Structure 1
Amino acid sequence: MTLELVPPDPGLRTRLLPSDIAHAARAVARGGVLLMLEQDGIGRIRLQWKLTGAGLLISLRDDGPGRLAADALTMHRLADRVASLGGAVSLDAVPGWGTHITVELPLTTRQALPADALHALNPRELQVLEQITEGHRNRNIAEALQISEHTVKYHVRNILEKLKVDSRGEAAALARGTRRPLV
């Protein structure tokens, strides 16, 4: 397997990226490569970073079977990581032609959640949020807290609304950014 790293465009070489964005971009690129390697028959992966007016564009393309699914667990993890940074990810998999993953990251990070924002959550929601930050799925959270999966989904929906975020990944990232222990 060959990993082709396209040199950055001149604009990226002359502009400094914020360190947190650069570290996140490296982690996202590594996660995307590992995601693509889950498929058999990959001969080459091409990785490129570009600056756009809105931020940093990461492009990953492989020559594999093109069977990577948008609903795969590892794709959800990558999408959650990107969403927690305020970015977006898209997947274009064409059977027989390969896969193309595009990630757009803003050049500024979101502000950390103020510690008092967690006061809006009740004790059970804090327990569920703690489980989310540890990467547990609904079934595992239900077992750990001895509640039903339906109840976990209810709490997750409330957490997302109260924290004004769109995904579990964003909620976890914001919770990790607080200085206050969750429970």
Structure 2
Amino acid sequence: MDELPTPAERADTLARDRALTEQGDRHAVALGSILAVLRSGRFSDVAARREATEIASSALIRARSTHEQHESVLEPVVEAFSRLRTELRPLVRSGPLHVQFAEPPAQGRALPGPVAREARAISRTAVLSLVDRADAARARVGWDCDGRNLLMEIRDDGGGAVSAHDDVLRPIAERVVALDGTMDVEATPGWGTTLRIEIPLDPPSAALTVESAEELTAREKQVLRLVVTGISNQRIGDQLGITANTVKYHVANLLRKYGARTRAELASITH
């Protein structure tokens, strides 16, 4: 941390990292969809190859599109949600998880481009985690808008053993914190889990710059030095003599102060 990057370099790094994260999310959905098709007993070999080829072709077309690179674009909430359904359709159609989509109101306020993209990324991550856990047969993804916030609800009928502190929800929690949003997890053993998220539509308060890193607390500086090494919260806690949950609290504050959306972005800024 001796030589800090310039603001322009930080902006370029953040833009590159976010683009790579978005691309990784989409690839994960595409690959998961292809695997679901090839493993499904509902398709013959010829039909499975045809379906997998269609999914791969669509993914390549989306990968070549530059539409989502424009940060200033506003997306009507209905259109943003429709794009989510399109992205998840191959996985839902061929996978073991039945997903119901609850449409947002047509008159809902348009979403800033970054909010729309992050909301889709959060929804994709949640659905993929359900597929990976394989403990739920049904899920419901719903968006709403109260004029000030995007309201998201993701509900499943799984084992209800997930809590807000589980690592499976960490990527979602980090995205929510970076957008100054809130997340609530309601889990009932044997009945499933409900994830409720609020994301403000207006710009968050200005984040601290790297140059003002001296405003960090002593503990935040200790956590930051270990976060950039890539080790887990548990290992950070073990080294500092604090709990993993306390580490998560400090990481959330660091993400907010540096304006980063993920631990990877935080590491890129401060490396």
Same fold (TM over 0.5): yes
Q: For structure 2, which runs of at least 5 residues remain unmatched after alignment?
A: 1-96, 261-265
What is the SS of the residue equivalent to 1:47?
A: strand
Counterparts of 1:82-161 in structure 2, within 5 Å, are: 82-110=176-204, 111-121=206-216, 128-132=223-227, 136-141=231-236, 148-150=239-241, 153=242
Number of equivalences: 166
Tell me: CA distance 1:175–1:127, structure 2 relative to 1, closer, same or farther (3 Å): farther
Deviation at 1:23, TM superposition (A): 1.3
More strand by share: 1
What is the SS of the residue equivalent to 1:70?
A: coil
Deviation at 1:125, TM superposition (A): 6.1
Query: Which residue does 1:175 correspond to in 2?
Result: 258
Query: Which residue does 1:67 correspond to in 2?
Result: 161
Contact persistence 2:223–2:250 (CA under 8 A)? no
1:3 aligns with 2:94: no
Q: Which whole-Å CA distance do the structure 2 matches of 1:85 and 1:139 have between them?
A: 25
RMSD: 3.5
Contact persistence 1:21–1:109 (CA under 8 A)? no
Contact persistence 1:45–1:62 (CA under 8 A)? yes
CA deviations over 1:19-56 (Å, ceiling 9, x no partner)? 11111111221222233334433112111110014300
TM-score by length of 1: 0.70
Deviation at 1:106, TM superposition (A): 0.7
Q: Report the residue type matching 1:56 in the other structure.
A: L
Q: Which whole-Å CA distance do the structure 2 matches of 1:42 and 1:17 have between them?
A: 30
Tell me: CA distance 1:119–1:58, structure 2 relative to 1, closer, same or farther (3 Å): same
More helix by share: 2
Q: Which whole-Å CA distance do the structure 2 matches of 1:182 and 1:126 have between them?
A: 11
Q: Which whole-Å CA distance do the structure 1 matches of 2:251 and 2:157 have between them?
A: 31
Q: Report the residue type matching 2:187 in the other structure.
A: A
What is the SS of the residue equivalent to 2:153?
A: strand
Q: For structure 1, which runs of at least 5 residues remain unmatched after alignment?
A: 161-165
Deviation at 1:120, TM superposition (A): 3.4
Tell me: CA distance 1:139–1:31, structure 2 relative to 1, closer, same or farther (3 Å): same
Contact persistence 2:228–2:270 (CA under 8 A)? no
Contact persistence 1:91–1:102 (CA under 8 A)? yes
Bigger relative contact order, structure 1 or 2 (CA pairs below 8 A, ≥6 apart):
1
Tell me: CA distance 1:38–1:20, structure 2 relative to 1, closer, same or farther (3 Å): same
CA deviations over 1:51-83 (Å, ceiling 9, x no partner)? 014300011111222222333112244223212
Tell me: CA distance 1:134–1:60, structure 2 relative to 1, closer, same or farther (3 Å): farther
